[in-house]
Amino acid sequence: MAPKDKKAAASAGGDGAAKKAGKVAKAVKGSVARKQRKVRTNVHFFRPKTLIKKRDPKYPRRSVESRERMDKYRIIQCPVTTESAMKKIEEINTLVFLVDIKATKLNIKEAVKQMYDVKCAKVNTLIRPDGKKKAYVHLTQDYDALDVANRIGII
């Protein structure tokens, strides 16, 4: 449908076109900002440091707590009752035990303290040719190895 007179047609279409032309003129006048590329002075790329959150699990990954596999009864297997072991008990205040192969000197010290209520001064260990570990437990001067041996039932 054609407009009835030219003035009405010009005013109806010209109003929207003027606004559009103004926007285009603004855009053309303003410079287009190009992003400047950062000059890299190092050949190594370091990942940017981002936020590291503390772990906050919603449920436990294991249903049951793990128990200690090396308890005092597994560490100390048995006392040695040979003549040389008896000589050490009497003369140099030392008890001799066969212990677990994986037991450390600190483990042995703790196990002797818990089982026999004595304080150890020093623990020496060796692995015998048959593959068993032997521990020489030197007691402090407060405790007598002969009394402890009697209590255990060695003598």
User: Is 76:118 a contact under the CB 8 Å cutoff?
Assistant: no
Distances (CA, A) of 96 to 55, 112, 121, 131: 47, 11, 14, 16
3-48 per-position pLDDT tens digit? 666 555 555 556 788 888 888 888 777 666 788 888 989 999 999 9
CB atoms within 10 A of CB 123: 21
Overall pTM > 0.85: no
Q: Residues with Cβ < 8 Å from 79, sequence gap 6 or more?
A: 85, 95, 96, 97, 98, 149, 152, 154
